[in-house]
Structure 1
Amino acid sequence: MIKNDLLAQLQHKFPKHIFEQQYLSVVHKGRFANAIVYRYKDDKFDLIVKDFSQSPWFIRKSFARISVNQEYKGLSRLADLNAVANNFSRLSPIAVAYDYIEGTPLRSLIHEDKTLPVNFFSELERQVAKMHRKGIVHLDLRNMGNILCGTDGKPYFIDFQSTISFARFPRWLQRFMRGTDMSGVYKAWNKLSVEPLPQAKQDYLVRFNHVRKRWIFKGYPIQRTYAWGAGIFAQFLNSDIVRSITERL
């Protein structure tokens, strides 16, 4: 029934194409407040679809709508980046679809003891810097599963549920947010590059990791209060934000 509804939504969005269930498969089964991730692949379309239809009703009426809205807005804001899928659609208030990117998550390459050329990471760094110039942070690039090495050898990033505009935050927190993204680039560079991470970038990564482990517990009381408040708000929006800041190295 859920799959039929999803196919009907795709059909409504692309009325000139016939969508068939045999081409729809589950990539990842979400738990509780997470979407089920599908892949639809036929001779014309190759799509990732995130759908919250099987979540409890109170998730569908609250968190799911926020999550889909965040993902759609993130894709919209970053559509002209080479590292982002630039064809996407909101199928319903609780479902979003975008082009499937063929590639391997960096997390898998790390587990396989693979390496990548240094120009891959230089390009990833450029793409993240371009994202920041648009006033947007991803906030979950330290999760190596959200960065892909495409079949074309180029970097891509996925999963935009935690993507937000940072302009409304204080400057010190903006720097930390941007640092969360860039440290994810340098973390991957350090683990996967055929060449060592340049010393200046290594120093940046070490400094950021040092601050990141202690930022909530140091500084002026007003900063600590704001940090905790931002953390609680982020957890409500998407637990991925909190994980990206607090995950262990």
Structure 2
Amino acid sequence: MSSPSEDAEVLSARWTEGVLLKRDVFSTVERGRFRTADGDVEAVLRRIDQVPWWSYLPARHLFGRERRALALARDLRVGPELLWAGRQALVRGFIDGVALHLAKPFGDAAYFRSAKQALRKLHRAGICHNDLAKEQNWLVGRDGRAYLTDFQLAACFRTRGRLFRIAAYEDLRHLLKHKRSYAADALTPKERKILARKSLVASIWLATGKKVYRAITRGLFNFTDREGGGRRLVNDAPVLIGLIRQNPAVRDAAIVAFADRRTGVGLYAFVEADQTALEVRLRSDLAAAKGPKPPEHIQVVQALPRDASGKPRTEILQLVATNQLDLIEPMMTSAADRAFLKDILESRKNLRDRFNFETADLNSPSS
């Protein structure tokens, strides 16, 4: 299903293709640059002209909800600015920040105060997001503030009736669940009471509607949105990691997902080992095992980046796999971290969507 001619003309003249962020049965999302009256700006494109015919109607519905919400929230500065919208595509401003599940703002009470203020602004404008349980829909900006994204399930209300109040309450409750995960000590007594009490609608949804939703999306549409990784990250990655670790030369391994223009979702394996030529043997072993499809990319590294507890920092590896190197810099805490990561970046495998989102600090020669 091709894009309407007017959409195609605008995108051809004003959009510069960049990194593919996500591709599923409901839309294709990519990062690039968009030409405005003030010059080119970093932006994000969502388009539905490439979705399968059987998912077009729900995709169209979700697209319309996001377009309405972004138009209404244009001046709030709590989410992406709507730069342009057509019939089957829209362009929103790029927010310089990373998703909550990547940033992991442990103990950052200021971030969650900012998040609460952002949510209050959104609700005052009559908008309820309705999808804030997902950490990837909360961004931690480079300025440390909270921003919201992905308004496909958002609802716009003209009056603050009962349905609005229920949706707004659930938005807040989902925010507080994230606050409990990252900054539990900052929860107030009132916030703890909200966490302990779901709305009746939410309780009914969990008992009935959510089961139907999962049956449709995961069964009929074969769609699982685990941080954009889909079924391969959920089902295949754990099996593949187990197979890779069976090789005695492997100390550890981590697998992350990346959006792929040909297959939708690709897997990128980072393998900690001393033998850089180990990739060929690993591919042979995975093929012989006749298990899940092997990762599109296997990169052998001397050491995986790890957090204080010793676990691989998959949030950094995720950004390496998607070539969003400019978003890694704020997550580096020392010169040693930068030097360590530089070795991984110089031998990274996924160069198809490299574009120009590299940061000089990470790619400059060591002094």
Q: TM-score, normalised by structure 2?
A: 0.50
8 Å CA contact 2:126, 2:160 repeated in 1? no
Matches within 5 A, 1:91-170: 92-110=86-104, 114-167=105-158
Consecutive unaligned residues of structure 2, counting only runs of 5 or more, are 226-367
Which letter maps to 2:67?
Y
Q: CA RMSD in A?
A: 3.5
Q: Give me the whole-angstrom Cα distance separating, in 2, the residues matched to 1:72 and 1:58.
A: 22
Q: Secondary structure at the match of 1:104?
A: strand
Q: Give me the whole-angstrom Cα distance separating, in 2, the residues matched to 1:97 and 1:29.
A: 16
Where does residue 278 of structure 2 map in the other structure?
Answer: none
Q: Give me the whole-angstrom Cα distance separating, in 1, the residues matched to 2:48 and 2:122.
A: 27
Q: Which of 1 and 2 has higher RCO (CA within 8 Å, sep 6+)?
A: 1
Matched residues, number: 209
Where does residue 36 of structure 1 map in the other structure?
Answer: 28
8 Å CA contact 2:47, 2:90 repeated in 1? yes
**Identical counterparts, % of pairs:** 21
Where does residue 214 of structure 1 map in the other structure?
Answer: 203
Greater C-alpha Rg:
2
Q: TM-score, normalised by structure 1?
A: 0.71
Q: Give me the whole-angstrom Cα distance separating, in 2, the residues matched to 1:53 and 1:125.
A: 35
Quote how far apart the aligned CAs of 1:194 are: 7.4
8 Å CA contact 2:127, 2:154 repeated in 1? yes
8 Å CA contact 2:76, 2:122 repeated in 1? yes
CA 215–109 in structure 1, closer or farther in 2 if over 3 Å, else same: same
Q: Give me the whole-angstrom Cα distance separating, in 1, the residues matched to 2:40 and 2:206.
A: 52
CA 131–214 in structure 1, closer or farther in 2 if over 3 Å, else same: same
Higher helix fraction: Structure 1 or Structure 2? Answer: 1
Post-superposition Cα deviations, 1:153-212, rounded to whole Å, max 9, x if no partner, equal: 1110000111112457961x3332111110122112111227431121011111127x56
Q: Secondary structure at the match of 1:44?
A: strand
Q: Give me the whole-angstrom Cα distance separating, in 2, the residues matched to 1:63 and 1:205.
A: 31
Correspondence for 2:48 among 52, 62, 66: 52
Which letter maps to 1:77?
L
Kindly indicate whether residue 59 of structure 2 is the aligned counterpart of residue 64 of structure 1: yes
Where does residue 10 of structure 2 map in the other structure?
Answer: 9
CA 104–11 in structure 1, closer or farther in 2 if over 3 Å, else same: same
Q: Secondary structure at the match of 2:66?
A: helix
Where does residue 27 of structure 1 map in the other structure?
Answer: 21
Q: Give me the whole-angstrom Cα distance separating, in 2, the residues matched to 1:212 and 1:58.
A: 29
Where does residue 247 of structure 1 map in the other structure?
Answer: none
Quote how far apart the aligned CAs of 1:97 are: 0.8
